[in-house]
Amino acid sequence: MPQKKRNDFAVAVGLLGLGFTGMLVVSMIGCSLMTMAAMWTTGEVTTDLLMIMNDIGIYGLGLPVLLAIGHFLPSTAPFPLRPVRALRPVTFARTAAVGYAGCMAANLVSLLLLAAIRALAGLQPNNSLNGMVETMSPWASLILISLVPAVAEELVFRGYLYRKLIRFGQLPYILISAFFFGSFHGNLDQFLYAFVLGCWLGYLICRTGSVIYGMLIHLFINFFSSCVLTSAGDGAVANALLGLGILALVGWGLVQFWDFHRRMFVRPATGLPEHPVRAALLNPGMLLWIAAFLVMCVISLLS
């Protein structure tokens, strides 16, 4: 029986790792082909068009690969769409503040670590994402950077993975889905804060039974980062007020997390092997995904 439990858990995580690897490869190939076709027909590719092709590659071409491979895994829970335990507006605002504060704290740690790594290695900072957002039209930024990822990523990384992993317990689901979410961003700049946010939103799924709250929090964070911050301009007063607002929101979020953590709990894991971390990481599918993630990180650091 212990060996069967180990096999069930390792196979489930490994198949998901294989699925995400296939999703990534197919989406990158599809996006590259669409970009070459656009260059051949129009002679140029705008940032808006590039982001449209990127979303088509990920969700139109790559996602079916993940779903096809994940079809071999049982779905042991209904899709978490309709809330089982609804949040009051004030409680939701508190959870959103916690999510934003966690992102900002993790992002600060990432910035410090990567600044040290780049300084020691003699590498230049990578601001390609910020530069890309600044060249997009406002409506494209709102839809392609804020709305689409908030909805699609929550459906995949929180909703879909909930159906496939919750049978092993809430904590394994939260940590594994957050790891896939963070690593799917493909760079170290975003990995840590995406992982932290993924843990919080995964916990909210377990508490409320719905991805809706995660979508709204995700949308708020994306919108604030991609639309509000990039359009703030160079005005000293406006930036000072914005900075104070961010500090106030982060401070409030940290206070709310301190209040929440005393009542936080997850149900005990079930059906796990004796060494669950080893089973989750040291299987062919997950090793393949980790290798793909590391390759993307190296490319991002050197670009």
The pLDDT assigned to 254 comes to 96
Average pLDDT over residues 50-75: 96
Give the 3-state secondary structure of 16-64.
Answer: HHHHHHHHHHHHHHHHHHHHHHHHHHHCCCCHHHHHHHHHHHHHHHHHH
What CA–CA distances, in Å, run from 283 to 18, 68, 149, 277?
Answer: 10, 20, 29, 11
pLDDT tens string 6-22: 589 999 999 999 999 99
Burial 2-21 (b: 16+ CB within 10 A, else e): eeebbebbbebbbbbbbbbb
pLDDT tens string 150-176: 999 999 999 999 999 999 999 999 999
The pLDDT assigned to 130 comes to 64
Contact 168, 269 (CB under 8 A): yes
Torsion of CA 186, 190, 192, 195, to 10 degrees: -70
Q: In terms of C-beta density within 10 A (0-12 exposed, 13-18 middle, 19 or more buried), how is residue 136 classed? A: buried
Average pLDDT over residues 121-129: 74
Which domain range does residue 203 map to?
2-302
pLDDT tens string 83-117: 999 999 999 999 999 999 999 999 999 999 999 98
The pLDDT assigned to 128 comes to 64
Averaged confidence pLDDT in the chain = 91
Q: Which two tokens stand for residue 293?
A: 């993630």
Model confidence at 132, pLDDT cuts 50, 70, 90, reads: confident
pTM: 0.93
The pLDDT assigned to 248 comes to 95
C-alpha 193/C-alpha 130 separation (Å) is 16
Is the model's pLDDT at 234 over the cut of 70?
Answer: no
Average pLDDT over residues 190-206: 97
Model confidence at 64, pLDDT cuts 50, 70, 90, reads: very high
- Count structural domains, the chain: 1
Model confidence at 1, pLDDT cuts 50, 70, 90, reads: very low
The pLDDT assigned to 239 comes to 78
